[in-house]
Amino acid sequence: MSRLRMLLAATALLPVGWACLAEGPDFAREVRPILSNRCFKCHGPDEDHQEAGLRLDVSEAAHAELDSGTRAIVPGHPDDSELIARITSTDPDLVMPPPHTKVKLTEDEKRILAAWVAAGAEYRPHWAFVKPERPGMPEAENDGWARNGIDRFVRARLHEEGLTPSPEADRATLCRRVHLDLVGLPPTPAELAAFLADEAPDAYERLVDRLLASPRYGERWARRWLDLARYADTNGYEKDRQRSIWPYRDWVIGALNHDMPFDEFTIRQIAGDLLSSATVDDIIATGVHRNTMINEEGGIDPLEFRYLAMVDRVGTTGAAWLGLTTACAQCHTHKFDPLTHTDYFALMALLDNADEPEWTIPSEDRDRRVNDIRRRIEEAWAKLPSTWAGTPERFAEWNAEESRLAVDWTVTKPTSVTSSLPHLVVRDDGSVLAGGDVAKSTVYEVVLPPATTETRAIRLEVLPDESLPAHGPGMVWYEGDKGDFFLSELEVTASDRRIAVAKGTESYAGNPSSSRGASSAANTIDGDMSSGWGIDGQQGRPSAAVFVLAEPVPAGTPLTLTLRSERHYACPIGCFRASVSSRGDAEARGHTAAEEAALVKPADSRSAAERDLVQRRFLASASELAEPVKEIRKLEDSLRDGTTTLVLRERPADSRRVTHRRHRGEFTQPKEEVRPAAPAFLPPLPADAPSDRLALAKWLVSPENPLTARVTVNRHWQAFFGRGIVKTLEDFGYQSDPPSHPDLLDWLAVTFMHDFDWSQKKLHRLIVTSTTYRQASTVATDLAARDPGNVLLARGPRVRLEAEVIRDSMLAAAGLLSTKMGGPGVRPPQPEGVTEVAYGSPKWNVSKGEDRHRRSIYTFQKRTAPFAMATTFDGPTGEACLVRRDVSNSPLQALTLLNDPMFVEVARALGAAAMQAGSDDATRLEDLGRRLLSRGFDADETAALAAYLAAQRQRLAAGELDAVKLTGEAGPDAAERAAWMLVARAAMNLDEAIVKR
């Protein structure tokens, strides 16, 4: 008997022969995982790795004749199938998988493959890539156990497995569980008492509705979304500077509180700016993909890190919406899933065509403030003469001198502009505005129209614009000073001949950061690229440099200006305008273009407005008014203030970003252009709309998309039960864990999309009102052995709480929790030295007042040194999309709850609160239990705690423990407060205090 026959004979499936096999192993559940895990790496979708020309992931290829003339699979004939011969071979040169791969098939796996070939080797599409249909509902058992559809599916499976569900949890436990799940906080003793006293049959459902309507709901659920969105308040990498993107965090909280349907929630985040009626909120929502990290290290290539941010965007979109692991396809066609290398970049192309500004959020409030500042500026100007009005003589003298020097500049409008990188647009007033990507080295070539007179001087104005970082005039946004630029060299060419520049002067010269000494316009004509001119300190206002040519350029000759900007960070000019003059004595006098134009005119032919302009310029230049003018400048600077947030902005049509496939995923190896498209194995994008972010957004939540709804309901399921129906929340591909309840998953997905119109609150209500959810979580001994992971749901969930819920619950129990919503991140107390390890050893300046005790979602999140307590309890760093948090159980957690200064503070407040509950120990302990565990301690627990209390009282009285140090304050009742603080601290450290049960 051949090895194969022995193998097959060993399976009960196969009595005799092959042909009589009506039904082989289940392809999706049993066969594909083997092929995918053991074979696809070399015989899968990746064209570069189809060894021997064999591809096993699609039937046509697997059944086809191979290079060798054999066939891997001959359906119904394992004896003739090379696949089976190879996996059962004992010859090390023939056996598959080859020994060097260190991958081995188990005997069971070989049997399954052989039986599958014998049964006809039928391929079926992967379940998750087929649109979910509403499955038939299992019959309910007639004991009334099932309350809704969830229960019917769960019960049917339990029945199959011969298991019985657990009884309903007691009401206090249930009240605590649903509070923790829906609002992330335990019930207050009063809320608990009210619920326990409510004997109406729908008391629980009404409780659920109250919780769903609470603003605390959005705070709880936004945190989970922010894990996916990799939200943080700093930029990451070495410098890890602070960023302002909390408006996005607040947008998420608001959207969830308003139960924004998940399809809209998706569309606004991916492409809110592209909606025809985009609101301010819709633009803020695009922050989801601005949560990528920014490397501000000196010397980096900003485009490389932008590319890495794009990789992160594709990965996050894949994991959070599609349950697809895209990372493999960045470098090569996915070895397991049908995602090709080109698919990957087509997906990237859909997201790629955006600029990434820091956006000042418009609001009525801001408009009012701006108008107010403008009014104050006008008033300040009007008031100047009352301080010092000047004298007619002084003015005449000043005016004569400045008029004499003022140049009658001819403003030019370039006939052509080219740029090595930022996109340049020539505007009607002759100014040139840059936008889009920047690099460390930039060259602009600006061709000016032929002048009517000879040219001896050139003025380069650098102008502010709201679209630029800090309103410009430069494009510096990292490492250097925001809104600055660095002009390294300026070159003038006429008729293909370099024209020497004799002199450069500037209206203002800044000291660029990390520089020694001032910059100057003269530095831009010295032939040294490492010196140059910048304007740090004058952001938001115009400056100018004037260059005098060494020889005149004859009239009628087009001039070309070459502007080179190069530093260890990107530093091009953002907005500029060139003017020419025939005057060889031109110099920068600090006037704006309008002021200089007015000064050129004789005083008596100036208009009223021009006279006013000149008068102000005169006053501003008077040393007597230096102080008040400085105040005016400060007011002007404050015009730029406002809340900013990071958003996406679609690029103009004439500067579409071209996305390239990158060989091996490497930034330095761009290959052919890839057009935006959906992955080929999924439904296509709508044909009648542009293939852009908006198309992607709508495609993600299209009812035709087989993944998004399933992935979403599965993630929510995991939040309640501790485990997804598909365990691998982030991966629904071939390598994913098969669903424990496939029909339930599809039913939930279809119900969520079509019956609930993507309402998250309706989904949550469905889950928490199910009998399945309401079961007691006690782990019976037999069940612990049978189903330790509670996959089958014969009991309710029992899971350790998330970091934020632990902290918030403790603060709430102690009555300390602030309910203030929104705003910039706060810095609650944490042990010294947590942030010292980050670059530059930044200080953690603890917030004051109620900001010490805000909900944890508002805690300032520093990527390179996250809040210690959150890290200890498995909180995210915000460095990458986190679909599933770990749930660890470590000694550092014990130390945190016992000794972290913040929890010591909580213990003091909690002890004091319990003392307020009554004068006797029993009442106080009862109150403590209710605050912390949502139940009174039972007799035994009470006994243990009372004994502990008595022992500590004794030691405090004996002076062995220092009450004043423990409680942080002296007073007649310090010892008693200390005793209660210690009892509270002990109770906070009970396992039950940090679990949902």
Partner 1 sequence: MNPLLDLTRRHFFRDCGIGVGKMALAGLLAESLGRPATAATLPVGLLAPKPPHSAGRAKAVIQLFMAGAPSQLELFDHKPKLAAIEGIPIPPEVIGGQRYAFIRPDAAVLGPQYRFAQHGQSGAELSEMLPHLAGVVDDIAIVKSCRTDQFNHAPAQIFMNCGFAQPGRPSIGSWVTYGLGSESRDLPAFVVMSTGSGISGGSACWSSGFLPSVYTGTRFRNAGAPILNVDSPDGADGRLAADTLDVVSAINRRRLAIDGDPEIATRIASYEMAHRLQTSAPELMNLADESPETLALYGCTPEEASFARACLIARRLVERGVRFVTIYHEGWDGHSDVAGNVKKNCESTDRASAALVADLKRRGMLDSTLVVWGGEFGRTPMVEASAVLGRSKGRDHHPNAFTMWLAGGGIRGGVTYGETDELGFHIARDEVHVHDLQATILHCLGLDHERLTYRYQGRDFRLTDVHGHVVRGILA
Q: Cβ distance 352 to 310 under 8 Å? A: yes
Collapsing DSSP to helix, strand or coil, 490 comes out as: strand
With CB under 8 A as the contact rule, the residue among 895, 916, 957, 971 that binds partner 1 is: 895
Nearest in space to 792 (alpha carbons), one of 155, 214, 58: 155
In the numeric block, the tokens 């002890």 are attached to 911
Pure H helices in 258-352: 262-271, 280-285, 302-317, 327-331, 341-352
957 binds partner 1 (CB under 8 A): no
507 binds partner 1 (CB under 8 A): no
With CB under 8 A as the contact rule, the residue among 877, 912, 917, 976 that binds partner 1 is: 877
Q: Report helix angle 171-183 to 203-213, nearest 10.
A: 20
Q: Cβ distance 248 to 285 under 8 Å? A: yes
Q: Which of residues 187-226 bind partner 1 (CB under 8 A)?
A: none
Sequence-separated (6 or more) residues with CB below 8 Å from residue 268: 255, 260, 275, 281, 282, 285, 286
720 binds partner 1 (CB under 8 A): no
Stretch that binds partner 1, among 348-356, 501-509, 606-614, 874-882 (CB under 8 A): 874-882
Q: Which of residues 812-831 bind partner 1 (CB under 8 A)?
A: 831
Residue 427 CA to residue 204 CA, distance in Å, equals 64
Six-digit token string for 882: 């986190």
Q: Cβ 865 to partner 1, closest distance in Å? A: 6
Stretch that binds partner 1, among 164-172, 582-590, 845-853, 867-875 (CB under 8 A): 867-875
Q: Which of residues 113-172 bind partner 1 (CB under 8 A)?
A: none
Stretch that binds partner 1, among 120-128, 129-137, 385-393, 527-535 (CB under 8 A): 527-535
Q: Cβ 476 to partner 1, closest distance in Å? A: 14
Six-digit token string for 29: 């559940």
With CB under 8 A as the contact rule, the residue among 74, 405, 425, 529 that binds partner 1 is: 529
94 binds partner 1 (CB under 8 A): no
Collapsing DSSP to helix, strand or coil, 617 comes out as: helix
Q: Cβ 391 to partner 1, closest distance in Å? A: 44
Residue 217 CA to residue 761 CA, distance in Å, equals 10
Give me the amino acid identity at 485: F
In whole angstroms, how far apart are CA 804 and each of 184, 473, 840, 946? 8, 42, 27, 30
282 or 312, CB closer to partner 1?
Answer: 312
Burial, 526: exposed, middle or buried (Cβ in 10 Å; 0-12, 13-18, 19+)? middle
Residue 922 CA to residue 915 CA, distance in Å, equals 11
Q: Cβ 945 to partner 1, closest distance in Å? A: 7
With CB under 8 A as the contact rule, the residue among 189, 236, 357, 483 that binds partner 1 is: 236
Collapsing DSSP to helix, strand or coil, 103 comes out as: coil
279 or 841, CB closer to partner 1?
Answer: 841
Residue 541 CA to residue 474 CA, distance in Å, equals 11
Alpha carbons within 13 A on the beta-carbon side of 950? 7
Paired strand residues for 579: 411, 459
106 binds partner 1 (CB under 8 A): no
Q: Cβ 339 to partner 1, closest distance in Å? A: 11
706 binds partner 1 (CB under 8 A): no
SS3 per residue for 301-320: CHHHHHHHHHHHHHHHHHHH
Nearest in space to 491 (alpha carbons), one of 543, 559, 427: 559
Stretch that binds partner 1, among 330-338, 611-619, 634-642, 707-715 (CB under 8 A): 330-338
570 binds partner 1 (CB under 8 A): no
880 binds partner 1 (CB under 8 A): yes
Q: Which of residues 770-809 bind partner 1 (CB under 8 A)?
A: 777-781, 784-785, 788, 798, 800
299 binds partner 1 (CB under 8 A): yes
In whole angstroms, how far apart are CA 621 and each of 588, 632, 840? 14, 13, 41
16 or 970, CB closer to partner 1?
Answer: 970
Six-digit token string for 522: 């003269």
550 binds partner 1 (CB under 8 A): no
Q: Cβ 924 to partner 1, closest distance in Å? A: 10
With CB under 8 A as the contact rule, the residue among 325, 615, 705, 769 that binds partner 1 is: 325
Output DSSP code: residue 829. -
With CB under 8 A as the contact rule, the residue among 190, 939, 958, 970 that binds partner 1 is: 939
898 binds partner 1 (CB under 8 A): yes
608 or 958, CB closer to partner 1?
Answer: 958
234 or 702, CB closer to partner 1?
Answer: 234
888 binds partner 1 (CB under 8 A): yes
274 binds partner 1 (CB under 8 A): no
Q: Which of residues 646-675 bind partner 1 (CB under 8 A)?
A: 668
Stretch that binds partner 1, among 59-67, 461-469, 541-549, 955-963 (CB under 8 A): 955-963
Q: Cβ 747 to partner 1, closest distance in Å? A: 25
224 or 935, CB closer to partner 1?
Answer: 935
Q: Cβ distance 294 to 789 under 8 Å? A: no
With CB under 8 A as the contact rule, the residue among 89, 106, 363, 889 that binds partner 1 is: 889
Collapsing DSSP to helix, strand or coil, 662 comes out as: strand
Stretch that binds partner 1, among 126-134, 423-431, 496-504, 946-954 (CB under 8 A): 946-954
Per-residue x/- track, 453-492, partner 1 (CB under 8 A): ----------------------------------------
With CB under 8 A as the contact rule, the residue among 951, 957, 971, 973 that binds partner 1 is: 951
Q: Cβ 106 to partner 1, closest distance in Å? A: 16
756 or 860, CB closer to partner 1?
Answer: 860
315 or 574, CB closer to partner 1?
Answer: 315
Sequence-separated (6 or more) residues with CB below 8 Å from residue 556: 450, 451, 452
Size of the site for partner 1 (CB under 8 A): 125
Alpha carbons within 13 A on the beta-carbon side of 177? 26
Give me the amino acid identity at 279: T
381 binds partner 1 (CB under 8 A): no
With CB under 8 A as the contact rule, the residue among 583, 874, 912, 917 that binds partner 1 is: 874
757 binds partner 1 (CB under 8 A): no
With CB under 8 A as the contact rule, the residue among 240, 402, 746, 927 that binds partner 1 is: 240
Output DSSP code: residue 138. P
With CB under 8 A as the contact rule, the residue among 839, 843, 957, 973 that binds partner 1 is: 839
Collapsing DSSP to helix, strand or coil, 883 comes out as: coil
929 binds partner 1 (CB under 8 A): no
Q: Which of residues 388-427 bind partner 1 (CB under 8 A)?
A: none
242 binds partner 1 (CB under 8 A): no
848 binds partner 1 (CB under 8 A): no
Residue 266 CA to residue 939 CA, distance in Å, equals 51
891 binds partner 1 (CB under 8 A): yes
237 or 485, CB closer to partner 1?
Answer: 237
Six-digit token string for 17: 């022969």
Stretch that binds partner 1, among 650-658, 672-680, 808-816, 983-991 (CB under 8 A): 983-991
Contacts of the segment 529-533: beta carbons below 8 A, 24+ positions apart:
529/488, 529/489, 529/564, 529/566, 530/488, 531/488, 532/486, 532/487, 532/488, 532/489, 532/565, 533/486, 533/487, 533/504, 533/506, 533/509
